[in-house]
Amino acid sequence: MEEVLIKEDHKYVEVADRIERLIENGALKVGNKLLSVRALSKEQGISVSTAFQAYYQLESKGLIEARPQSGYYVKFSPLHVLDLPKVSSPVNDAVPVSVDEMIDSVYSDLNNEKLIHFSLGVPSISLLPVARLNKSLLHVTRDSKSSCLNYEHVQGNASLRRQIARQAFNWGGTPSEEEVVVTAGCVEALSLCIKAITKPGDAVAIESPTYFAIFQVLESHGLKVVEIPTDPLTGIDLAYLEKAIPRFDVKACLFVTNFNNPLGSCIPDEKKKQLVEMLAKKEIPLIEDDIYGEMYFGKTRPKTCKTYDKKGLVLYCSSFSKTLAPGYRIGWTIPGRFKEKIIQLKRMHTVSTNTLTQAAIAHFLENGRFELHLRHLRKALHTQSLRYIQAVCEYFPEDTRMTRPQGGFALWIEMNPRVDAYKLHKKALKQTIGIAPGQIFSSQARFSNCFRMSYGEPWSDRIEQGIKTLGKLIVQSM
C-alpha cells in the first residue's frame, strides 16, 4: 500500500516535470490552457488526485495558474520578466499644452487592413458580439414606431440610462437613471465635463504619460495642464498632487483611475478613497475616466473614485467603445452635482446622441448579454496580454522595460534611451506595423524612448512576426 503511494507520488512529480519542460521549450506558451484535471488523469492513466497534485506543484512553482471557473493556464514565467518602467517625473511649470502633428502621422492610416495596428487601443472586432448586436439593431428598428429616426431626448434613451445605472452596481455605485447623461463616446463626456467645471486659463491636473486626446481637449478649452508623476502600478503620486494643487492653483483633476492609458496603472481602491477625500476637502472636482474599468484580469472589478464620492464632486465618464461597439459612439457621464449644466451644454453642442445605436445597446443590455460577453472579452484580453508580453520578452533587447497591466488594452514599453520612438514608428510603418510613440502621450513630447503597444488583436503568427520585426528595428535603432 505504501509503495503504491510512493509510486503515485513519483508519478505526479514526473508528470509535472514533463509539463514544465514543455513550458520551457515553448511547446506550451504563456496563456495556453492546460487539460482539465479529469482529462489529464485519463490521458496519463493517473488518478484524479495525482493529476491535481501535478498541477498544484506547477502552480506552487509559479509556472501555471488556476483561473476561477475556467481551468489551468500557463502563467507568465518570472524568469523572463523585464523591469517595470520608471515612475514618471514630469517637470511642471503649468505650461499651456500644444497639439502634436505626430498624432496625425500615427492615426492617418486607421482603416488600412494591411497594417498591424499595435497603435489602436480597441478590442479586435473578432472579440465583439457582432451577430447579437445586429439582432438588437434589427429588433429596435422594427420595434420603434419611428424606426429610431426621431431625435432622442437630450439626456439620452431612458432604458439605456437604466441599464447603465444597473451596471454601476459592479463598482459599488448606486446611481439612478436620472443621474446618467448619455454622450457620443467617452471623449464627448470628458469634453462636456471639462467645459462644465473650468474656465479658460484654469489649471487641470492629469496623469503623465496620458492619452493624447485628454491634453488636446484641455488645450482646446484654453486650459493649462499640470502633469502628475504616475506609478506604472498604482497610478498618480498622491503626495505630489496634494502639493501641486496650491502651487499651480489646480482647479480640477482628470484621471483615468483604472488601467489607465497608456501605463495600465490602476489606483488601488484605498488610495482612490484617499484621493476623493483629499479633493472633497478642497472642493476640487474630479473627472474620472473609467473607460477601461470593466476590462480587469483579476477576480473582482476595481472600484472607482465615484464609489467614494459623497459630495457629488466626481464626474464619472465611460463608454461602450472599448467593450462593445467603438463605431456606435455611445458613452456616458454620471456627473454628480454638475448634471444640469452638462445637459445644457450637450443640448448646445450636439442636441442629442444617435437614437439608433442608443436603442440597440439598450436592447442588448436589457437581454442580459453584456455580462456574459464581458467575461469572454476579459478572458481573451488577459490571454492575449500574456502572449504579447512573452513575445516582447523574447524578441526585444534585454534592457527594455515593460508594464504588466492587470487590465485594459495596452503595454507601455520603455526602450534604451538612444531609441527615438517617433523614428521607430516611421520605420515600423514601412514594415506595415503601427505603434503609438511615447511622444504623443505628453504635451511636451517627452517619453521619446517609449511606445504604447495594444494587445487588442488576438494572437497570431502575423502578430508574432510583427513583434519580432519591431524587436529587430529597435536593435537597429540603438
What residue ranges bind its own copies (CB under 8 A)? Answer: 99, 103-104, 107, 110-111, 122, 125, 128, 130, 133-134, 137-138, 141, 145-154, 184-185, 187-188, 191, 195, 200, 213, 216-217, 220, 222, 321, 325-329, 344-345, 347-357
- Min CB(262)–its own copies separation in Å: 16
Which CB sits closer to its own copies, 213 or 233? 213
- Min CB(50)–its own copies separation in Å: 47
182 vs 319: CA distance, rounded Å: 9
| Torsion 157-158-160-164 (CA) sign | positive
Which CB sits closer to its own copies, 69 or 111? 111
Q: Please give the helix or strand (H or E) that residue 271 lies within, else none.
A: helix 269-282
- Min CB(344)–its own copies separation in Å: 6
Which CB sits closer to its own copies, 94 or 103? 103
Which CB sits closer to its own copies, 51 or 204? 204
Which CB sits closer to its own copies, 193 or 391? 193
239 vs 275: CA distance, rounded Å: 10
* 3-class DSSP string for 453-475: EECCCCCCHHHHHHHHHHHHHHH
Kindly calculate the radius of gyration of the chain based on its CA atoms and give it in whole angstroms: 24
- Min CB(109)–its own copies separation in Å: 10
Which CB sits closer to its own copies, 69 or 108? 108
Residue written as grid cell 436620472: 178
- Min CB(248)–its own copies separation in Å: 21
265 vs 421: CA distance, rounded Å: 21
Which CB sits closer to its own copies, 34 or 133? 133
- Min CB(201)–its own copies separation in Å: 10
148: cell is 429610431
- Min CB(133)–its own copies separation in Å: 7
The pairing of strands 433-434 and 116-117 is: parallel
188 vs 320: CA distance, rounded Å: 13
- Min CB(431)–its own copies separation in Å: 23
- Min CB(191)–its own copies separation in Å: 5
422 vs 435: CA distance, rounded Å: 9
Asked if 229 and 88 touch (Cβ cutoff 8 Å), the reply is: yes
Q: Please give the helix or strand (H or E) that residue 56 lies within, else none.
A: helix 48-60
Angle at 411 between CA 233 and CA 454, to 5 degrees: 140
149 vs 179: CA distance, rounded Å: 25
Which CB sits closer to its own copies, 154 or 233? 154
416 vs 401: CA distance, rounded Å: 9
376 vs 92: CA distance, rounded Å: 42
- Min CB(135)–its own copies separation in Å: 10
Which CB sits closer to its own copies, 17 or 104? 104
171: cell is 463598482
Instruction: Tell me the helices (H) and strands (E) count for the chain, helix number first.
Output: 15, 16
Angle at 476 between CA 473 and CA 478, to 5 degrees: 115
Which CB sits closer to its own copies, 145 or 299? 145
447 vs 438: CA distance, rounded Å: 5
359: cell is 436603442
217 vs 192: CA distance, rounded Å: 10
Which CB sits closer to its own copies, 23 or 330? 330
Name the percent of the chain in helix, strand, coil, to the closest 5. 45, 15, 40
Which CB sits closer to its own copies, 270 or 340? 340
Asked if 353 and 183 touch (Cβ cutoff 8 Å), the reply is: yes
- Min CB(333)–its own copies separation in Å: 14
- Min CB(97)–its own copies separation in Å: 11
